[in-house]
Structure 1
Amino acid sequence: MKKMLAVILMAAMMVSTFSGCSGNGSGETEESENSTTASVESSEEASEETSGETVTYGVLAPLTGDASVYGISTSNGIKMGAEDINENGGVLGKTLELEVMDEKADIAEATNAYNALRSQEVSAIIGDVTSKPAMAVAEIAAEEYADGDGIPVITPTGTTPDITPNGENIFRACYTDPFQGKAMATFAAENLGATKVAVMYNTSDDYSTGIANAFVETAEEKGIEIVANEGYGADDNDFKTQLTKIQALNPDAIMVPDYYNNVALIATQAREIGYDGVMLGADGWDGVLNVLDDANKSVVNNCYFCNHFFINDTDEKVANFVKEYKETYGEDPTAFSALGYDAVCILDEATEKAGSTDPEAVVAAMQELEYDGVTGHITFDENGDPIKDVAILKLEDGAVTLETKLAAE
């Protein structure tokens, strides 16, 4: 396997006002193309205290290829979280190092990378980022754990529901696809008062299909009539046939659970045929304003989507995270960044609670953990899925605002 695009994080870091995993921290990054290790060290004082002892977490992320935008954003959040951990004494007083591997959003690459990390005896693995590689890694990791030779694994962003049921050592920091569908159906019924809703989804995409199915089920339970359930293919770029049929049915809203590139096309064409009503979505909508010209941002007016956090949240932890991320990486964090940050901090807090890196002790601690993170107050259910509030965001006049938060189920 080709070596990853690596990041060596500077050892000497200035103390800032960032309120992170266990306290304050900031740091600059320095990239190296020839290393697979992202080694994160704290200040000289912390380094002396640990006497060279380290704890190593493996990280799996697509840093090159079609999904690299997600992998880089997630790994940036993980690295910043690791910086903060080390600024505050490390993991059990030891320096935290990250061994990061680029798996290119490929299942075979991900499993090979996982095996390589296991041969290096990492204490835990954060990954994978996209759902199919995350599923493949979870299956192997759970089997090893059941055989008495496994480690904790947490995916920051793998949303397919089948990942965590593989084993008790598998966790996730993000919502599942069905959770998002249920949340948006609840919002449509209880907050918007919708009684008739149409659905458009990508039939070739598990993410889009999973959310759509959960939305339809919950919407019907709440008395919403699904007036249309229209599918389209992965390569489609003309959606006017479906939209024209939907508009004739006069729905209160159209649910479009897809990623922002398709969302931008669908919203634009919906407005072109004269539909000016509500449109709904899930976390794949995050970033849709970035792919629309200023003159066209109005096509997503009166649109709502759920997300893992709100970048302009006044919560101190969120505000400080956003500020520090901008200073470190020169851009706004995404939900992927926030979830990556929370994932490494969850592992840190569970390890501190366990008082050991022993896998069984850490897994037990995670199952009982209560963590206040950038993406909310988190506990885990019996499957290792997070229980936390969901943010419903509104798009209007080229801006994103927080409409409401729905309480965790």
Structure 2
Amino acid sequence: MYFSKKTAKLMSLLAGTMLMGGVLAGCGGDNAASSDEIKIGANFEMTGNVANYGQATLDGLNLAIDEINAAGGVNGKKLKVISADNKSEAAEAVNAATKLISDDGVKVLVGPAVTANVIAESQVATDNKVPVIAPDATSPDVTVENGQVKPFIFRSCFIDPQQGTVMAKFASENLKAKTAVIYVDNSSDYSKSLGKVFKEEFEKAGGKVLMEEAFLAKDQDFKATLTSIKTANADVVFVPAYYEEVGKIVKQARELGITSPILGTDGWDDSKVADIAGVDALNNTYFSTHYSDKDESVKGFLEAFEKKYGHAPNVFAALGYDAGKLLADAIKRAGSDDSEKIRQAIEETKDLQVGTGIITMDPKTHNPIKQAVILQNKDGGRVMVAKIMPE
């Protein structure tokens, strides 16, 4: 969920001036005020290398909007989702945002899924005073730049540092760990950021990091490094990475006789981890994520999603659903389809029940204050072992 942003910034700057005249004509005026619809732009990765992220998030968003419209809409108006494919590219994310704002006259944007693509559209949205809700992008840079909050950019998921903090707290307090090894993907800013925060917080709690090691995405054989990690005999091993490498690391670690708990983050949240690692190898592993399918408070969402799409949702679908509920609530409280009033209402969100829990928006960072869930992999299933709120 965290990609390089160099291309993103360049493309958003190119698009800034191009929009101003057309957008003002497309989004305002008597026709917009008298419409019985409020247009929502969905800028997602529907093709390209992260299309699975974007399409799942869009499915969750569409479910939320369908439910809201079936219940009568918002302020007497229906919500209309207009989608645009950014092709999993930062430059195309700018083009998609441009089209949605200037041609389609949307009042708010939801998406994209990944960090670089959200940052790419940010300048365009800000220049035209159109609020953005990022459902999945976990980098702190999405909503804050040079210490200043971006006034029109929000997110509905928790951020990378929260996961690192949560897992350090869980290791120290719940597992009573005194020592740890950190094993990160050196090609992923997501993984390196989480490793850094975990180390800081674990040591702040009195723990000691005995060893820090790294691998690269698409590596296949981890045994040489894991053999070294085994000699450390740490209480826990922290592997903040994505499911493909995680599955292989866990499998090979157990084959080498590493029996200590292995910890991770939401990159683990995919059923393919078990397919790769094997059920037995995954025992005594834990990871942070956004919700548990065993939590009574999310069962309504899970049942509705399966009824609509014929399969269980993944975490991206859940976060898209959250974004839809957050947006509808803000529009209702705004009492208007005015983009500035919607922006203010999003910022003032407090104790809102969405699909994965309760959200309060932090006005200083535009990040939601929401709990993380710790799941344990056990005998082929997942058991919720903790809910941890950020401090």
TM-score interval, normalised by the smaller of the two chains: 0.7 to 0.9
Aligned pairs for 1:305-316 (under 5 A) are 305-315=287-297
Equivalent residue number for residue 163 of structure 1: 142
Query: Conserved in 2, the CA contact under 8 Å of 1:178 and 1:210?
Result: yes
* 1:52 positional shift: 6.7
C-alpha separation in 1, matches of 2:96 and 2:165: 34
Give matches, 1:56-75, under 5 Å.
56-75=39-58
* Whole-angstrom CA distance in 2 between matches of 1:295 and 1:211: 22
**Distance (Å, rounded) in 2 between the aligned partners of 1:233 and 1:293:** 21
Counting only pairs closer than 5 Å after superposition, residues 137-216 of structure 1 correspond to structure 2 as 137-142=121-126, 144=127, 149-166=128-145, 167-216=150-199
Task: Return 258-267 or 60-69, whichever deviates more.
Answer: 60-69
Deviation of 1:235 after TM superposition, in Å, equals 3.1
Report the counterpart of residue 365 of structure 1 in structure 2: 345
Specify which of 345, 358, 361 is matched with residue 380 of structure 1: 361
CA separation in 2, counterparts of 1:405 and 1:336? 19
Q: Secondary structure at the match of 1:200?
A: strand
1:136-181, Cα deviation, whole Å (9 max, x unpaired): 1224323x1xxxx311100000001100115111110111111111
Counterpart of 1:122 in structure 2 is: 106
Q: Could you tell me how far 1:291 is from its partner in structure 2?
A: 4.5
Q: 1:384 to 1:267 in 2, by over 3 A?
A: same
Deviations, residues 334-377 of structure 1 (Å, cap 9, x unaligned): 11111101101111111110111212211111111121111211
Tell me the secondary structure at the aligned position of residue 199 of structure 1.
strand
- Please tell me whether the aligned partners of residues 62 and 321 of structure 2 are also in contact (alpha carbons under 8 angstroms): yes
Match for 1:62: what amino acid? E
Q: Distance in 2 between matches of 1:397 and 1:70?
A: 27
Which runs of at least 4 in structure 1 moved beyond 4 Å after TM superposition? none
Aligned pair count reads 352
Contact 1:60–1:128 (Cα < 8 Å) also in 2: yes
CA distance in structure 2 between the partners assigned to 1:251 and 1:257 by the alignment: 16
Q: 2:207 aligns with which of 224, 234, 241?
A: 224
User: Does the CA contact (< 8 Å) of 1:154 and 1:343 recur in 2?
Assistant: yes
Task: Quote the Cα distance in structure 2 between the aligned partners of 1:229 and 1:111.
Answer: 38
Residues 295 and 176 (structure 1), Cα distance of their counterparts in 2 relative to 1, 3 Å cut: closer
Query: Aligned AA for 1:163?
Result: V
Q: Does 1:270 align with 2:253?
A: yes
User: C-alpha displacement at 1:283, in angstroms?
Assistant: 0.5
1:44 match: none
Is residue 344 of structure 2 the alignment partner of residue 344 of structure 1?
no
- The match for 1:280 is 263
Given that residues 302 and 394 in structure 1 are in contact (C-alpha distance below 8 angstroms), is that contact kept between their aligned partners in structure 2? yes
Matches of residues 98-137 of structure 1 in structure 2 within 5 Å?
98-119=81-102, 120-137=104-121
| Aligned partner of 2:282 among 288, 300, 304 | 300
CA contact (8 A) 2:247 2:277 kept: no
Say if 2:35 is the partner of 1:55: no
Structure 2: how far apart are the matches of 1:256 and 1:140? 36
Question: Would the aligned equivalents of 2:246 and 2:273 in 1 still touch at CA under 8 Å?
Answer: no
Are the aligned partners of 2:129 and 2:339 in contact in 1 as well (CA < 8 Å)?
A: yes
Structure 1: any 5+ residue segments left out of the alignment?
A: 1-50
> Considering only aligned residues, what root-mean-square deviation do their CA atoms show, in Å?
1.6
Task: Pick closer, same or farther for the CA change 1:295–1:407 going to 2, 3 Å.
Answer: closer
Write the distance in 1 (CA, Å) between the matches of 2:121 and 2:98. Answer: 9
Instruction: Provide Cα deviations, 1:260-281, integer angstroms capped at 9, x if missing partner.
Output: 1111011011011111110000
Asked whether the 8 Å contact 2:251–2:276 carries over to 1, the reply is: no
**Identity of aligned pairs, percent?**
38
1:353 equivalent to 2:366? Answer: no
The match for 1:82 among 54, 65, 76 is: 65
Structure-1 residue corresponding to 2:28: none
Please, which moves more after superposition, 302-311 or 52-61? 52-61
Distance 1:68 1:365 in 2: 30
Structure 2 distance, partners of 1:265, 1:351, is: 45
Give the Cα separation in 2 of the matches to 1:396 and 1:377. Answer: 27
CA contact (8 A) 2:182 2:237 kept: yes
Separation (CA, whole Å) in 2 of partners of 1:171 and 1:180: 18
Where 2:140 maps in the other structure, the secondary structure is coil
CA, structure 1 residues 293+385, in 2 after alignment: closer, same or farther (shift >3 Å)? closer
> How many Å separate the matches in 2 of 1:141 and 1:163?
13
The one-letter code matched in structure 2 to 1:355 is G
Separation in 2, partners of 1:407, 1:235: 33
Q: Is the 8 A contact 1:138 1:164 kept in 2?
A: no
Q: Give me the whole-angstrom Cα distance separating, in 2, the residues matched to 1:394 and 1:295.
A: 15
Code of the residue aligned with 1:160 in structure 2: it is: S
Q: What's 1:254 paired with?
A: 237
Contact 1:91 1:351 in 2 (8 A): yes
Deviations 1:76-102 (A, max 9, x none): 100000101101111221111111111
